[in-house]
Amino acid sequence: MKPIIIVVGARPNFMKMAPLYRYLESNNLPLILVHTGQHYDKNMSGVFFDELGLPKPDIYLGVGSASHAKQTAQIMVGFEEICEENEPSIVVVAGDVNSTIACALVSSKMNIPVAHVEAGLRSFDMEMPEEINRILTDRISNLLFTPSLDADKNLINEGAKKSSIKLVGNIMIDSLLNNIERAKKSRIHNELNLVKGEYATITLHRPSNVDYEDVFSGIIKAFEIIGNEIPIIFPVHPRTSNMISKYGFEDRINQIPNFQVIKPQGYLDFLALIKHSKVVLTDSGGLQEETTALGIPCITIRKNTERPITVTEGTNTIVGSKTENIVKEWVNISKNKNKKGNIPELWDGKTAERIGRNIIEYLEKH
């Protein structure tokens, strides 16, 4: 039997692929795990393999960081060779990072079926590199695994074949539910001297927020105001760390009372941090979903989201990047005036199984 290739590349891919890898493995299917190396630091990559129970990748491309064109091209060149050598029955990609589109494009040109996990999400903002990756990957995928009905609608509107769309739910939530018990053993609150329920967690890494000095400065202003009222934990992404140095923001950040800048956290410690936050402020995609699943208020520092269900059903509020709008929503939350939210349908921990069954059925038919 020809192998199934599972592709991972950047941090958000690992928690999406771990449960699927395990399901397919438990069905004795031949698997090849390919890591492109888009993310490579121990705390952006290796730690997730250990904690999520993913095996060491069978093939590591080691492309590293570069411009979009260079990074995507290097992944494509390496991945084409992998496909030539291994003749996979299907290639499974996840999410919206450069590794996703690069490997989908190679496979589709080689007439190898592509399955896209987390298909159909749209921010309708073509300035986001991820939106381009999402649209193009969906267009050339044979199986479109969607997390929620809004994604199905987007795909239908774009002319996708109905039979290729499979509403399976949110696979990130599989990982969350599989690990939330283990996360209870985390010592992070002791280490950081935090009282559960009485601190804010912040993550920030979108180019639109951190690459522009004036925008980033306005966001830090909001942190300066909020930091006077509640301790803040800021696990800082390497891109953001580079930008803090470039714009000389270290002094401002150091002067915020009770503001702890820490390195990017592993999966379990980070889950423990979110679960007991009073509020999460973020521009991440996945975190909007994780906070909804855990019922924690989320302030999204972006002008749009590709995950609208976290707003219509969950705990998420989109506020943009302006100081006053970020602070205004914090004031609501500090007075417990935030919305409470529900857990969306099919965010039940069984998405990997639904995806796995669909893949097996597809391979039997083709």
CA 320 to chain centre: 19
Among 2, 26, 30, 41, binds ligand UD1 (CB under 6 A): 41
Question: Pick the catalytic residue: 35, 116, 205, 276?
Answer: 205
CB of 87 to ligand UD1, least distance (A): 27
Our finding on whether 116 is near ligand UD1 (CB under 6 A) is no
16, 22, 39, 307: residue in contact with ligand UD1 (rule CB under 6 A): 39
Does residue 178 contact residue 22 with C-beta atoms inside 8 Å?
no
Tell me: does residue 235 bind ligand UD1 (CB under 6 A). no
Q: How far, in Å, CA of 188 to CA of 191, rounded?
A: 5
Residue span 94-113 as binding mask against ligand UD1, x where in contact by CB under 6 A, dash where not:
--xxx---------------
- Indicate which single residue of 193, 242, 245, 255 sits in contact with ligand UD1 (rule: CB under 6 A): 242
Question: Toward ligand UD1, which CB reaches closer, 3 or 129?
Answer: 129
Query: Active-site residue 205, yes or no?
Result: yes
Burial of 159 (0-12, 13-18, 19+ CB in 10 A): exposed
Helices of type H across 1-110: 11-26, 47-52, 68-86, 98-109
Task: Bin 239: left if φ > 0, else alpha if -120 < ψ < 50, else beta.
Answer: alpha
Contact between residue 310 and residue 321 where contact means Cβ atoms under 8 Å apart: no
Which DSSP category does 136 fall into? H
Out of 3, 25, 40, 164, name the contact with ligand UD1 by CB under 6 A.
40
Beta bridge partners of 202: 281
Q: Which of 153, 189, 239, 263 binds ligand UD1 (CB under 6 A)?
A: 239
Of 6 and 97, CB closest to ligand UD1: 97
Which residues within the stretch 275-314 sit at the binding site for ligand UD1 (CB under 6 A)?
none
88 binds ligand UD1 (CB under 6 A): no
How many whole angstroms separate alpha carbon 49 and alpha carbon 57?
9
Least Å distance between CB 242 and ligand UD1?
6
Both tokens of residue 361?
């059925």
60 binding ligand UD1? (CB under 6 A): no
**Whole-angstrom Cα distance, residue 27 to residue 171?**
18
Question: Catalytic site residues?
Answer: 205
Q: Contact positions toward ligand UD1, by CB under 6 A?
A: 10-12, 38-41, 44, 65, 96-98, 129-130, 205, 237-239, 242
